[in-house]
Amino acid sequence: MKRQTLTEKTADELLRYIQEHQLKPGDRIATEADLQKDLGVGRNTIREALRLLMSRGIVTVRQGSGTYISEREGVSEDPLGFSMQSDRKKLTEDLLQTRLILEPPIAALAAQNAGRDDVERLRVIFQEADARILAHKEYAAQDCAFHVQIARCTHNSVMEKLIPVITNGVMTFAENVRETEYEQTLLSHRAIFKAIEEGRPVDAQKAMEFHVLFNANRYRAEGQ
Task: Assess whether 118 and 149 both reside in one domain.
Answer: yes
Please state the rounded mean pLDDT for residues 114-139: 92
63-82 in b/e burial notation, b at 16+ Cβ within 10 A? Answer: eeeebbbbebeebeeeeeeb
Asked, for residue 117, whether it belongs to a domain, the answer is yes
Mean pLDDT for the chain overall: 85
* Three-state secondary structure call for residue 81: coil
For residue 29, pLDDT beyond 50: yes
Domain hosting 45: range is 6-69
Q: Cβ(221)–Cβ(181) under 8 Å?
A: no
- Give yes or no: residues 144 and 106 share one domain: yes
Query: Cα separation of 220 and 120, whole Å?
Result: 35
- Give the Cα-Cα-Cα angle 56, 58, 62 (nearest 5 degrees): 110
What is the structure's pLDDT at 64?
Answer: 76
pTM of the model: 0.66
Whether the predicted pLDDT of 210 surpasses 90 = yes
How far apart are alpha carbons 83 and 168 in whole angstroms? 9
